[in-house]
Amino acid sequence: MVVRVAIDLALDRLFDYEVPVALERKLAVGQLLSVPFGRREARGFAIEAGDAGAGAGGAPRPLKPVSGIVDETPFFSPSLLELVKKVAAYTASPLESVLRAALPAAVLRRNARAKEQLFVEPGGNGPAGDGVTPRQRWLAEQVARLDGGWLSQLCAELKTTPGSMRTLERLGLVKIAARARRRDPLAGRRVLPTRPLPLNDEQSAALAAVRGATSPVLLFGVTGSGKTEVYLQAIAAELASGRGAIVLVPEIALTPQTVQRFASRFGGRVAVLHSALSDGERYDEWHRIRAGEARVVVGPRGAVWAPVADLGLIVVDEEHEPSYKQEDVPRYSARDVAVLRGAVEGARVVLGSATPSLESWMNVRRGKYALAAMRKRAGAGALPPVGLVDMREERELSQSGGAIFSRALLDAVRIRLERGEQTILFLNRRGYSRSFACAACGAVAECPACGVAYTYHRADRCLRCHVCGGWAELPAACPKCGATSFDCRGIGTQRAEAALGKCFPRARILRMDADSTSRRRSHDDILSAFRRGEADVLLGTQMIAKGLDFPNVTLVGVLNADASLNLPDFRAAERTYQLLAQVSGRAGRAELPGEVLVQSYDPEVPTIRAAAAGDFERFAADELKAREAAFLPPFCHLAVVGLKSKDLRLAGAWAGMYAASLGNLEGRGGLVVSDAMPSALEKADGWYRWQIVLRAPSASAIVRAWRWIASARPVPKGVRVHLDMDAVSLM
């Protein structure tokens, strides 16, 4: 018997091994094996198994034997292995890289194991009479009453010591032994059970569409329309029929709230997978899923690979979000993998959004997806009116020529403070100011590794690069002219927080951005505090723009609606519309009416006006016309060939060579090849970056071109090259 193994190196090939007779009955596809590889012992996954002589190349030859089976329970089911192969082929990624992406690193770590602690259980009556003191008898009775428990917890609860418990064990009153103890991400959190809510007509129709779906369903529901309740009841139906479910959310910030809602409905059957968990928590949660103890999995994009057996439903909430795309190899889209997994495993797939991606919207028009629309809010709240504020009229409020808050927004915040209501302010730029410049000569402090302006962070008084993460101390004098005065240009969340505090000294303000959420569980802490009413204003970046539900929020303010419109990317208008519409939906979600104020320096832009009107279908129709005329997604597949080197000339030369070679293939399968050009972010972390954009009606035409160029023109040492299929950004 021969098994083909994917070794734990990204070699993009399988290796054949002989299966010893003693292991033949135990070995199964999907298991993690130990095999000899060169001079070391390697680990790899069994991908295929067959009769001897079926090895790669067909020529009989002696094969090294498999050393052992690391875990007899397969890590991958046959259907998950099929999914891995399809994703590797579609993204032109090494199979090994997709296998690694599909498993939490904590699960694959060589020393990974369940955590064991001492457990105390009742051990019978033990000796009678003078051999047992009343205190010992009472302790034994309490252990029996509690049906045992963890030694540390019982000692704390019964006010005793481990030594006293050991004495009870010697007397035969209890038994103490090591047991695996789950590291629970929800430990210490109060989860109150909830019951299904009555559905309105639109929700009932949407649920029926999901239950009867034979193709993916786009659940197009305005913010606050009750999409989550539809998800919950659809999952309940799957659980009742013995099947499991996966729920994907785009941001870790959304995970605590989503997990709370699902745990309230489904209790201990819910597992959570995301990068903010400890290694131990991820290890235990993944094994709970594999063992079938958890049937509902909630998490960001990596949860799409969760080993849920008998998968019945996959929900992709906020399906339009670019964070579903992995930016490292393998560069897959979790939304697209979810659709593919549904097809492989026969599971229903629901893509939910108030602002769908144009790709999903076009799939509805083409008949590939079914549409379930919910155009009104559930409950008492109505969609809030949106007011546009022309910031050109507010310039006189600031000596530096630009105001942070308009008079209308300050008045609206003041009213909410007086009423005891809450406000959300959205600014999609963290830090204090976007640049730190010399007041005399205008020289801007730049990151030497990236060539972009440092962002000034006032909280820790340093300059930080938001590309590579590097930092520098504040200069005492300008290195160019020696002047000692500096200007802070642009507005970040730290600066907005400071200015708001001056306007409203008594207001309780919480800031939520990448800087304030760096410690573990900080997302949950900030959102929980705001939900409890411990703050009046929540100021933050895009992590507060979607999926959050706060009944006391009646005002949403967008501080700079134009920021994302100016990015050099064909999706800039789509991203801007989605952000504005999503953050606007945080207001007025309960009985209290809401209001939204959008500050813009060009409020007549069609994208901003469409977002203010909440007219997605009109926006989509106009944008799709422009995309079709330019042969851009969703009317084609678009991929980026990225080349980078720390030598500027080498990067440019090889990019030009690749573009010329690929140009010879132009027209084959409808392939369109751009010129080689520096990336919009030309330098990052010391690497000079160039790119070539490929477009074609089918992904396979792009993959064929990529495989040819990668084989015919292998890059030299010092140059790195990759393919980003269905790229979500050209930055």
Q: Are residues 391 and 480 in the same domain?
A: no
**Share above pLDDT 70 across residues of the chain, in percent, rounded to a whole number:** 95
Confidence category of residue 296, pLDDT binned at 50, 70, 90: very high
Q: Are residues 497 and 482 in the same domain?
A: no
What would the pLDDT profile of 33-87 be if each residue is shown by its tens digit? 999 998 899 999 999 998 765 444 455 568 999 999 999 999 999 999 999 999 9
Q: Are residues 464 and 519 in the same domain?
A: no
Q: Which of 52, 75, 98 is the last residue of a domain?
A: 75
Whether 641 contacts 671, CB under 8 Å = no
Whether 644 contacts 633, CB under 8 Å = no
Q: Are residues 459 and 529 in the same domain?
A: no
Burial class (CB in 10 A: 0-12, 13-18, 19+), 645: buried
Q: Are residues 496 and 467 in the same domain?
A: no
Q: Is the peptide bond before 322 cis (omega within 30 degrees of 0)?
A: no
Q: What is the DSSP string of 375-418?
A: -S-SSS--PPPEEEEEGGGGGGG-TTS--SS-HHHHHHHHHHHH
Confidence category of residue 723, pLDDT binned at 50, 70, 90: very high
- Give me the CATH number covering residue 28: 3.40.1440.60
Residue 731 falls within a domain, yes or no? no
Neighbouring residues of 518: CB distance < 8 A, sequence distance ≥ 6: none
Q: What span, in angstroms and rounded, lies between the C-alpha atoms of 569 and 268?
A: 44
* Mean residue pLDDT across the chain: 90
Q: What span, in angstroms and rounded, lies between the C-alpha atoms of 601 and 52?
A: 71
Hey, how many other C-beta atoms are within 10 angstroms of the C-beta on 170? 9
Kind of pairing between the strands at 595-600 and 386-390: parallel
Residue 85 falls within a domain, yes or no? no
Q: Are residues 350 and 287 in the same domain?
A: yes
Once rounded to an integer, what is the mean pLDDT over residues 198-219? Answer: 96
Residue 561 falls within a domain, yes or no? yes
Q: Are residues 483 and 397 in the same domain?
A: no
pLDDT (0 to 100) of residue 566: 77
- Give me the CATH number covering residue 590: 3.40.50.300
pLDDT (0 to 100) of residue 130: 63
Q: What span, in angstroms and rounded, lies between the C-alpha atoms of 287 and 296?
A: 13
pLDDT (0 to 100) of residue 398: 55
Once rounded to an integer, what is the mean pLDDT over residues 371-395? Answer: 85
Q: Are residues 658 and 714 in the same domain?
A: yes
Hey, how many other C-beta atoms are within 10 angstroms of the C-beta on 442? 12
Hey, how many other C-beta atoms are within 10 angstroms of the C-beta on 420? 9
Whether 524 contacts 256, CB under 8 Å = yes
pLDDT (0 to 100) of residue 185: 74
pLDDT (0 to 100) of residue 575: 92
Residue 187 falls within a domain, yes or no? no
Q: What span, in angstroms and rounded, lies between the C-alpha atoms of 212 and 165?
A: 57
Residue 269 falls within a domain, yes or no? yes
DSSP-assigned letter for residue 191: -
Torsion of CA 511, 513, 519, 525, to 10 degrees: 50
Neighbouring residues of 113: CB distance < 8 A, sequence distance ≥ 6: 283
**Share above pLDDT 90 across residues of the chain, in percent, rounded to a whole number:** 62
Confidence category of residue 30, pLDDT binned at 50, 70, 90: very high
pLDDT (0 to 100) of residue 435: 81
Neighbouring residues of 597: CB distance < 8 A, sequence distance ≥ 6: 386, 387, 389, 406, 408, 409, 412, 555, 556, 557, 558
Q: Are residues 422 and 441 in the same domain?
A: no
Q: Is the pLDDT of residue 395 over 60?
A: yes
Residue 98 falls within a domain, yes or no? no
Angle between helices 134-145 and 162-170 (to 10 degrees): 90
Please state which of the ranges 18-27, 340-349, 517-526 shows the lowest mean pLDDT. Answer: 517-526
DSSP-assigned letter for residue 715: P
Residue 83 falls within a domain, yes or no? no
Q: Which of 625, 654, 672 is the last residue of a domain?
A: 625
Confidence category of residue 639, pLDDT binned at 50, 70, 90: very high
List residues bridging with 510 in a β-sheet: 538
Query: Tokens representing 332?
Result: 């897959």
Residue 81 falls within a domain, yes or no? no
- Cα–Cα nearest to 478, from 439, 433, 435: 439
Phi, psi of 725 (to 5 degrees): -75, 140
Once rounded to an integer, what is the mean pLDDT over residues 334-350? Answer: 97
- Cα–Cα nearest to 116, from 274, 271, 284, 292: 284
Q: Are residues 239 and 319 in the same domain?
A: yes
Cα distances (Å, whole numbers) of residue 427 to 340, 456, 487, 601, 684:
35, 16, 20, 14, 24
DSSP H helices, 420-561, are 493-503, 522-531
Single-letter code of the amino acid located at 223: T
Q: Is the pLDDT of residue 641 over 50?
A: yes
Q: Which of 596, 625, 654 is the last residue of a domain?
A: 625
Whether 355 contacts 581, CB under 8 Å = yes
What would the pLDDT profile of 70-83 be if each residue is shown by its tens digit? 999 999 999 999 99
- Give me the CATH number covering residue 664: 3.30.70.600
- Cα–Cα nearest to 674, from 614, 730, 713: 730
Q: What span, in angstroms and rounded, lies between the C-alpha atoms of 666 and 233?
A: 50
HEC sequence for 225-250: CCHHHHHHHHHHHHHHCCCEEEEECC
Please state which of the ranges 247-261, 340-354, 440-454 shows the lowest mean pLDDT. Answer: 247-261
Q: What is the DSSP string of 94-132?
A: -HHHHHHHTS-HHHH-TT----EEEEEEE------GGGS
What would the pLDDT profile of 558-613 be if each residue is shown by its tens digit? 998 888 887 778 999 999 999 899 888 888 887 888 999 999 988 999 999 999 99
Query: Tokens representing 216?
Result: 């993916």
Q: Which structural domain, as residue segments, surrounds residue 620?
A: 386-431+492-625
Q: Are residues 413 and 543 in the same domain?
A: yes
Look-up of token digits 């996959």: 314
Look-up of token digits 């090494």: 94
Count: domains in the chain: 6
pLDDT (0 to 100) of residue 23: 94
What would the pLDDT profile of 149-185 be if each residue is shown by its tens digit? 889 889 998 999 999 999 999 888 999 998 877 787 7
Q: Are residues 440 and 469 in the same domain?
A: yes
Confidence category of residue 187, pLDDT binned at 50, 70, 90: low
pLDDT (0 to 100) of residue 54: 44
Look-up of token digits 């917890």: 153
